[in-house]
Amino acid sequence: MQLLEVKNLVKHFPVRGGLLNRIVKKVHALNGVSFTVEKGEILGVVGESGCGKSTLGKLIVRLLEANSGEVIFEGEAITHLSAAELLPFRRKMQMIFQDPHASLNPRMTVGSAVGEVLAFHEVVPRQELATKIDALLSQVGVNVDSRDRYPHEFSGGQKQRIGIARALAVNPEFIIADEPVSALDVSIQAQVLNVLMDLKNKFNLTMLFISHDLKVVDHFCDRMLVMYLGYIVEEMPCQDIHADALHPYTKALLGANPVSDPAERHELTVLEGEVPSPYSPPQGCPFVTRCPLVTDQCRTEMPPLVEHAEGHRVACWEI
Amino acid sequence: MSKTDALLTVRNLSVGFHTDRGDVTAIEDVSFEVRAGEILGIVGESGCGKSVTSRSIMRLLPKFNSFIVPQSEINFDGVDLTKVNEKTMRSIRGNRIAMIFQEPMTALNPVFTIGWQLDEALKYHTSFGKSQRRTRAVEILESVEIPNPEQRYDEFPHQLSGGMRQRVVIAMALCCDPELLIADEPTTALDVTIQAQILRLMDLLRRKTKTAVVLITHDLGVIAQICDRVIVMYAGQIVETADVYSLFKSPRHPYTKALLESIPQTGREHHQTRLPTIDGIVPSLFELPEGCRFQDRCAYKTQDCVDREPQLSSEVNGRKVRCFFPLCEP
């Protein structure tokens, strides 16, 4: 069943400047992105910094307003709902942020940080609040005795778990995790990924997992979107991405990843050419300045996202 | 200097800090060597002491609250860096030993051009005239694969992309043809495609100029990709040293093994499997346990590990491990 549909989402950020502080140029953060998310699946979004992956997450939960396009959640378009109309959807969609330290209020105990969400959305009656907080914290592997402690008393991994507990407080159906493990050490990263995996299996959660780390996305997600300069360039299942990847950008990303065993050392793929400016993306294909397969057609015409196999779409003229 | 002589020998380096809660030892008894043309990786999680190690070599730790324990020795080409005066240190730092930091934007001064900043290093460490310095600076920018180096010379840091800034920082480090390059998390803030460029550049360097490199990172992939030998640190101590192939093939310390296992693996058979993890967290330096520092997180813990502290023992083919019951065969 389809839980979320994103249709042709566009977001441009105006840049002001000059004497009269007029809009002088625009950052083209998202240039018409469309995809769907099935219930119970983990959809990964990968790409380098500035590709628009975080903007996408924020547009879906409406922390940012889109310029055009639609977000349809459970069959209802939520892009133009008022704040009051949006409230029930806020309960169903929650977000986990990258920096667990920045997303927790340093002056609130972790118990009250989680409790605030419960009280605001009236998830449980007031007298059951304490039990619910304990249940949530133990679910993510945080010691319940620590509910009266402050964020600075916890390690990064623990704080991220608290962030996850808070997102889960309202029993959401859909979670957007924006680089949830990027700030963590590898051993802690593995712990948090396991927590997310367990919760996903337990509650049949649907997740949009935003990350710059292909290894993590490959391991953790069911499908992934590869983004470049505000476009989706490839959409594919994460079964065997090394064998399945078709787009030259996805291949370059894979080839630039260091090996995990020195016995398998190979020359890393290094992309030549300049990274285009998001103020003035190139005509035609966005990857044209760095692509090894570039032709004249690529320079003038934007390749459409075409289905190559079931669930595998690629935007490239040369495939 | 013969091929086997070490360029840098660190012996029993212990560094502590004065804090409000009393003195604390950040690194203890760290010993290692680096030879010309070799890349030595130092890997460990945050707080394990890898950056303190590199900063003590460069003598960049704040004087008012840090101290190097007297028995420590940092021998660079016959000179003990812990003993020399600041004047001698200044002639070595940036000249014979250079350092690259994690965040390129903070390593560059935003109000001066790239050229000005390169020129400053050359002015200080060489006897070149003005035009000679400019030629040399452009040459270095070219060697780190910056397109249009002539034009970039007159630009400001904010006009460059992140990867290009890091290459400028590397260019600055290379100005004086250092014999030793210390790179502290040089690619951590960068995208993989840019990381690939920087790693290729460092590999090229050590081949071409025989520069010795100490590469500090928390990323085992980077270690696997370009290092020759590896030091694994945990809570301020070296727990294992080995050449990179042996380390990945047969990790001896339980911590090394657990670290290696916790990297997500690609491929069908690993897809969406649970990752092996290391329970618990790194102990605080203020509350280090008696005995082995890894005991609370170790799957193989015995009473011995609680009672006594294991020493770093030498093994065959130059490996070292700090464990009473090492895993695998060396």
Give the tens place of pLDDT for each residue, A242-253.
899 999 999 999
Average pLDDT, consecutive stretches of 10 residues, N- to C-terminus, chain B (330 residues)? 74 94 93 94 90 92 92 93 92 92 83 94 90 93 86 92 85 89 88 88 89 94 95 96 95 94 83 86 87 93 94 89 87
Where residue A167 falls among pLDDT bands split at 50, 70, 90?
A: very high
- The answer to whether A117 and A170 have CB atoms below 8 angstroms apart is yes
Question: Does residue A218 belong to the interface with chain B, where contact is any CB pair within 8 Å?
Answer: yes
Q: In what order do the strands lie in the sheet with B313-314?
A: B97-100, B180-184, B212-217, B39-43, B229-234, B237-243, B320-321, B313-314
Alpha helices in A109-213 (DSSP H): 110-120, 129-139, 156-168, 186-203
Residues in CB range of A305: below 8 A, 6 or more apart: A34, A232, A233, A235, A313, A314, A315
Task: Note whether B271 contacts A253, CB cutoff 8 Å.
Answer: no
Asked if residue A75 has pLDDT above 70, the reply is: yes
Higher-scoring residue by pLDDT: A95, B162: A95
Q: How much is the pLDDT for A32? A: 93
Nearest to A259 among B221, B276, B281 (CB): B221
CB contact under 8 A, B266 and A189: no
Predicted local confidence at residue B330, as pLDDT: 61
Residues 6+ apart with CB under 8 A from B327: B250, B251, B252, B253, B254, B257, B300
Distance, in angstroms, between A239 CA and closest chain B CA?
6
Interface test with B, best of A153, A251, A260 (most B CBs within 10 A): A260
When CB atoms are compared, the residue of B193, B274, B277 closest to A271 is B193
Share of chain A above pLDDT 90, in %: 70
CB contact under 8 A, A268 and B196: yes
Write the single-letter amino acid at B183: A
Q: Nearest-CA distance from B78 to chain A in Å?
A: 33
- CA–CA separation, A66 and A104 (whole Å): 26
| Contact (Cβ atoms closer than 8 angstroms) between residue A278 and residue A29 | yes
Q: Check residue B278 and give its pLDDT.
A: 86
Q: Are strands B229-234 and B237-243 parallel, antiparallel or unpaired?
A: antiparallel
Task: Share the mean pLDDT of chain A.
Answer: 91
Instruction: Between B272 and A314, name the one with better pLDDT.
Output: A314
Q: Smallest Cα–Cα separation from A93: which of A57, A47, A136?
A: A57
Nearest-angstrom CA–CA distance, A301 and A316: 10
Q: Which residue has the tokens 């500035």?
A: A50
Instruction: State the Cα–Cα distance between residues A114 and A131, nearest whole angstrom.
Output: 12
Q: What's the CA gap between B246 and B223, in Å, rounded? A: 13
Tell me what pLDDT residue B3 has.
45
Do A133 and A111 contact (CB within 8 A), yes or no?
Answer: yes
Closest CA to B243 of B251, B255, B235: B251
Those residues with Cβ within 8 angstroms of residue A213's Cβ, 6 or more apart along the chain or in another chain: A46, A181, A182
φ/ψ of A175, rounded to 5, equals -120, 135
Residue A19 has pLDDT above 70, yes or no: yes
Q: What is the pLDDT of residue B105?
A: 75
Pair of tokens at residue A116? 């605030």
Identify the helix (H) or strand (E) that includes residue A241. Answer: helix A241-244
DSSP B192-208: HHHHHHHHHHHHHHHHH
The mean pLDDT value for A101-127 works out to: 91
Mutate to test the interface with A, among B233, B262, B284, B285 (most CBs of A within 10 A): B262
Query: Could you tell me if A292 lies within 8 Å of chain B, comparing CB atoms?
Result: no
**Residue B284, min C-alpha distance to chain A (Å):** 10
Q: DSSP assignment, residue B219?
A: -
* CA proximity to A187, closest of B22, B34, B44: B44
- DSSP 8-state secondary structure symbol assigned to residue A205: -
Return the CA Rg of chain B. Answer: 21
Q: Select from A189, A222, A256 the Cβ nearest to the Cβ of B196.
A: A256
User: Chain A to chain B, count of Cβ pairs less than 8 Å apart?
Assistant: 131
Query: Does residue A271 sit at the B interface (CB-CB below 8 Å)?
Result: yes
Residue of A261, A277, A279 to mutate, testing the B interface (most B Cβ within 10 Å of its Cβ): A261
A260/B271 Cβ within 8 A: no
Q: Is the pLDDT of residue A55 over 50?
A: yes
Nearest residue, CB atoms, A258 vs list B197, B225, B262: B225
Cβ distance of B271 and A261 shorter than 8 Å: no
Residues in chain A: 319
Nearest to A60 by CA among A185, A173, A188: A173
Closest chain A CA to residue B224: A262
Distance spanning both ends of chain B, measured CA to CA? 30
Alpha-helical segments (H) within chain B: 50-58, 86-92, 104-107, 114-125, 130-143, 149-152, 162-174, 192-209, 220-226, 244-249, 254-261, 303-307
Nearest to B259 among A187, A263, A271 (CB): A187
Q: How many residues does chain B have?
A: 330
Instruction: From A263, A120, A277, select the one nearest B246 (Cα to Cα).
Output: A263
A256–B264 CB contact, under 8 Å: no
Nearest to B271 among A157, A239, A259 (CB): A239
Chain B residue numbers touching A193 (CB-CB < 8 A): 264, 275
Whether residues B266 and A242 touch (CB distance < 8 A) is answered with yes
Q: How confident is the model at residue A173 (pLDDT cuts 50, 70, 90)?
A: very high
The band of A133, judged by pLDDT with boundaries at 50, 70 and 90, is very high
The model's pLDDT over A179-220, given as tens digits with 9 standing for 90+, comes to 999 888 888 889 899 999 999 999 999 999 999 999 999 999
